[in-house]
Structure 1
Amino acid sequence: MTAANDRVGAVVTGLGTCLPKTVVTNDEVSRHLDTEPAWIHSRTGIERRRRVSQGTGTGDLAVAAGAAALKSAGRDGCDLVLLATTTPDRRCPATAPGVASRLGLAAAAFDLSAVCSGFVYGLTVASAMITAGGCDRALVIGADAYSSIVDPDDRTTAVVFGDGAGAVLLERGRTSDPGAVLHTELGSDGTGDDLITIPPHGEYLTMRGSDVYSRAVTTMTESARSVAGKVGWDMADVDAFVGHQANIRILKSVAKRLGLPSERVISNIADVGNTAAASIPLALADAAAEGRIGTGDRLVLTAFGGGLTWGSAAVVWSGAKPVREVRG
Structure 2
Amino acid sequence: MTRCFDVCNGDADGLCAVVQWRLEDTRPAELVTGLKREIALLARVVEAQAGDQVNVFDLSMQRNRADLLRLLDQGVHVRYFDHHATGGLPSHPGLESHVDEASDVCTSLLVDAHLGGAHRAWALVGAYGDNMASVADRLAGGAGFEPGDRAGLRRLGELINYNAYGDDERDVCIPPRLLYPLMACYADPRDMMAHEPIVEDIDAMRRGDLRQAAGATVLWQGPTGSVRMLPDAPWSRRVLGCFANRLAGEAPDLAHAVLAPGAQGFVVSVRAPLAHPHGAHALCSRFGGAGRARAAGIDSLGTGDLERFVATFATTRWSPG
TM-score above 0.5, yes or no? no
Greater strand fraction, Structure 1 or Structure 2: 1
The one of the two structures with greater contact order (alpha-carbon pairs below 8 A, sep at least 6) is: 1
Greater helix fraction, Structure 1 or Structure 2: 2
TM-score, length-scaled by structure 1 = 0.29
